[in-house]
Amino acid sequence: MSEPLILVEVLAQPAKVALIRFNRPKVLNALNDQLAKELEAALTTLDSDPNVHVIVVTGNEKAFAAGADIAAMADWSYATVFNQNYISKHWEAAKSVRKPLIAAVSGYALGGGCEFAMMCDIIIAADTAKFGQPEITIGTIPGMGGTQRLPRAVGKAKAMEWCLTGRMVTAQEAEAAGLVARVVPAEKLMDEVLATAGKIAAQSLPAVMKVKETINAAFETTLDQGLKFERREFHSTFALSDQKEGMRAFIEKRKPEFKNQ
């Protein structure tokens, strides 16, 4: 049997955190069809697992992922990629995940690697991380959201410059531009990411999923519609026993015990 292209683990500590690791180290975790299929299956399973509240996706020290597999796609025809809707269907699984996805990025996050990181809800980067959309340098353009999510994250001017030149951006530059939530020393990356994941995983799951859904709505609606949606979702939390428990625990000066309902 061939080796799995991703490794999946539900961690003992922190509780309710799952870890997915890209596993093609020889090609800097280049993303191919098989990897995308495995990732889709893992995300779907973990999203419906009640023992998982947060999913962390990572690569290795040298690469989160250096993009789509260039060797695999080099000779494909237009008809092939168009007719097969080139791997979009698998990657789009990430869009329907309701639990928070954290990208823990060390080394290269290029092309599809940068685009997948942007599909996640939070990017935490090692100080060695390098982001970029280098597709222009191989005669193509970003195809998995780079031209759409990058300007929303960093603004038009930077997105244009990054995508038109294909230059790599350091973790520090990516943080200053708003692409990355936090930059941490490379050797502390997983400790920091898992601490963040653990903090989120300890909250009420429905409240966590509502935060994700309402923030994402900010990118799809007008301000007025978004504010109304937020208000409705805020009101709906008062139907949760976790809201009663959370507020009571505050008043009683103790830690809340959420039941995720």
Tell me if residue 213 is catalytic.
no
Site string for ligand DAK, 10-29 (x = CB under 6 A): -----------------xx-
The three-class DSSP label of residue 57 is strand
Strands (E), the chain: 6-10, 17-22, 54-58, 63-65, 101-105, 108-110, 122-126, 130-132, 169-170, 182-184
- Does 59 engage in binding with ligand DAK (CB under 6 A)? no
Residue least distant from ligand DAK (Cβ): 111
Task: Tell me which stretch binds ligand DAK (CB under 6 A): 85-93, 186-194, 214-222, 237-245.
Answer: 85-93
How many Å from the N-terminal Cα to the C-terminal Cα in the chain?
42
Which member of 67, 112, 132, 146 is catalytic? 112
Pick from 17, 39, 46, 68 the residue near ligand DAK by CB under 6 A. Answer: 68
CB of 9 to ligand DAK, least distance (A): 25
The three-class DSSP label of residue 184 is strand
Smaller CB separation from ligand DAK, 26 or 253: 26
- Inter-residue contact 172 to 131 (CB < 8 Å): no
Residues 134-163 that bind ligand DAK (CB under 6 A): 134-135, 138, 143-144
Which member of 135, 159, 175, 177 is catalytic? 135
Smaller CB separation from ligand DAK, 93 or 205: 93
Tell me if residue 68 is catalytic.
yes
Q: Given the DSSP bridges, would you call strands 101-105 and 54-58 parallel, antiparallel or unpaired?
A: parallel
Smaller CB separation from ligand DAK, 28 or 101: 28
Tokens 């697992």 appear where?
49
- Does 86 engage in binding with ligand DAK (CB under 6 A)? yes
Site string for ligand DAK, 93-132 (x = CB under 6 A): ---------------x-xxx--------------------
Which member of 38, 40, 115, 175 is catalytic? 115
The three-class DSSP label of residue 2 is coil
Q: What is the CA radius of gyration of the chain?
A: 19
Q: Which pairs with CB-CB distance under 8 Å and at least 24 residues apart come from 42-51?
A: 42/6, 42/8, 43/93, 43/94, 43/97, 43/101, 44/93, 46/8, 46/10, 46/18, 46/20, 46/99, 47/96, 47/97, 47/98, 47/99, 49/10, 49/18, 50/260, 51/10, 51/16
Tell me if residue 233 is catalytic.
no
Smaller CB separation from ligand DAK, 28 or 180: 28
What are the catalytic residues? 68, 112, 115, 135
Binding site for ligand DAK (CB under 6 A): 27-28, 30, 66-71, 86-88, 91, 108, 110-112, 134-135, 138, 143-144
